[in-house]
Amino acid sequence: MNKRFAELAEFYRDKLLNETIPFWEKHSIDRECGGFFSCLERDGTVYDTDKFMWLQPRQVWTFAMLYNRYEKRDEWLEIARHGIEFVTKYGRDEAGDWFFRLTREGKPVLHPYNPTSTALFSTIAYAEYAAITQDEEDIERARETYDYLISDRPKPYTRFAKAYPGTRPLIGLGEPMFRAHVSYEIKWLMDADELNETIDECLNAVFDKFPDPKLGIFRENVAPDGSFVDSLEGRHINPGHGIECVWFLMEVAEFRKNKEAINKCVDILLNTLDFAWDKEYGGIYNFMDVEGHPHHDLGWNQKLWWPHDEMLIALSMAYRLTGNQTCWDWYEKAHEYCWKHFSDPEYGEWYGYLDRRSEVYMPLKGGKWKGCYHHPRMLYKCMREFEKLSSS
């Protein structure tokens, strides 16, 4: 098995360094106006020049992370700097809230109706960049953005919320899972007690409120007390989020030496795959209904790139941490499916969207939602997981 692990580590290294990162280096950098293009056709041609603010800091993080954790290449540092300057100059309004969409030149197009997601990724981008520069101003930006993220002050998206307040209150899985992840990512900036308390609070919140008692998977939305809400939103299952949450929590549980939490995560991962895997055509459904009712999203049965990226991370990590044979069997199945259907060896990167039959639905490589983040992160994480397995 060690030979197989070593081969997989090399496979992911090659896909990261010789296909995926070169694609974004060549096609996404706006040398004229700053920041990054994300709307890229199959061959990297730019089809729209607007800048989506939740994708800009993600790409900063990717290149700063590679510089910090893999190799100190000057070109990666320059790309991170290029992006952080655009984010800092144009990303926020006068009140400090994060826009969602800008023109190529950095003028606002969409109000900061959901600034929390941008603040989340800006936090890890600023922190990863500050870890390189050790500049006090960069460190302060990282800490200030994190404080904004976790503060109780009203955020502007409350002005644009579609839900009528008070009638059917719901809380989402995203808040505790991402708070745990962000805290772990910026742990070098946090007080040890604050970090441990945050991680433990998030682990408890996720495990206490979000698992479905019958299926053993994560619900996406629950009542504030964790109870089930029989509605479109309450029945909504986002398998990709659930799987991403699993590896976020396994990562922090390993850091906290919490084997019980790791084992819970593995159980939820395997239950999610059993529930969400398309038994006929393969791959993970985009969205599902926990009770098996028709889902209200018309793209519910598409196969998207990012849940499959998260699946490969989660399975490789779960197998390394537990040696669970079922995790390895699922990994082999998932690896074969993903590289058969999403990969584009001619131009690099993965296709973003497949249809139910696992055929390419849209040949784009980037857009409003897909940027330089999930896929290179998966390649890096899997490379590291198999390096550890090959040397154990």
- pLDDT attached to residue 112: 76
Whole-number pLDDT of residue 153 = 54
Over residues 26-39, mean pLDDT: 98
In this predicted structure, the answer to whether residue 169 has a pLDDT above a threshold of 70 is yes
Q: Is 165 exposed, middle or buried (0-12, 13-18, 19+ CB in 10 A)?
A: exposed
The two structure tokens encoding residue 306: 């990012």
| Span 254-277, pLDDT tens digits | 999 999 999 999 999 999 999 999
- What is the three-class DSSP state of 114? coil
**Quick check: 210 and 173 in contact, CB under 8 A?**
yes
Q: Which residues contact 391 (CB under 8 A, 6 or more apart)?
A: none
Q: What whole-number percentage of the chain has pLDDT above 70?
A: 97
Answer yes or no: are the C-beta atoms of 253 and 203 closer than 8 Å. yes
For 303, list phi and psi in degrees, rounded to 5.
-115, 110
What confidence score (pLDDT) does residue 117 get?
81
Average pLDDT of the segment spanning 20-47: 98
Average pLDDT (32-58) is 97
- Residue 97 pLDDT grade (very low, low, confident, very high; cuts 50, 70, 90): confident
pLDDT at site 95: 84
Mean of all residue pLDDT scores within the chain: 95
Mean pLDDT of 237-250: 98
Taking the model in full, what pTM does it have?
0.97
Asked whether the predicted pLDDT for residue 181 surpasses 90, the reply is yes
Residue 219 Ramachandran class (φ > 0 left, ψ -120 to 50 alpha, else beta) = beta
Contacts with 112 (C-beta within 8 Å, 6 or more apart), sequence order: 92, 93, 97, 98, 99, 100, 118, 156, 157
**Strand residues in 297-356 grouped as ranges (E):** 303-304, 353-354
The proportion of the chain whose per-residue pLDDT surpasses 90, expressed as a percent, equals 90
Q: Could you report the per-residue pLDDT of 362-388, keeping only the tens digit for each?
A: 999 999 999 999 999 999 999 999 999
Would you state the pLDDT for residue 322?
98
Model confidence pLDDT, tens digit, residues 280-328: 999 999 999 999 999 999 999 999 999 999 999 999 999 999 999 999 9
Q: How far is CA 228 from CA 76, 205, 232, 288, 349, in A?
A: 46, 15, 11, 16, 39
Note the pLDDT tens digit of each residue in 110-162.
887 776 788 899 999 999 999 999 999 999 999 999 998 888 655 555 556 67
What pLDDT does 164 receive?
Answer: 78
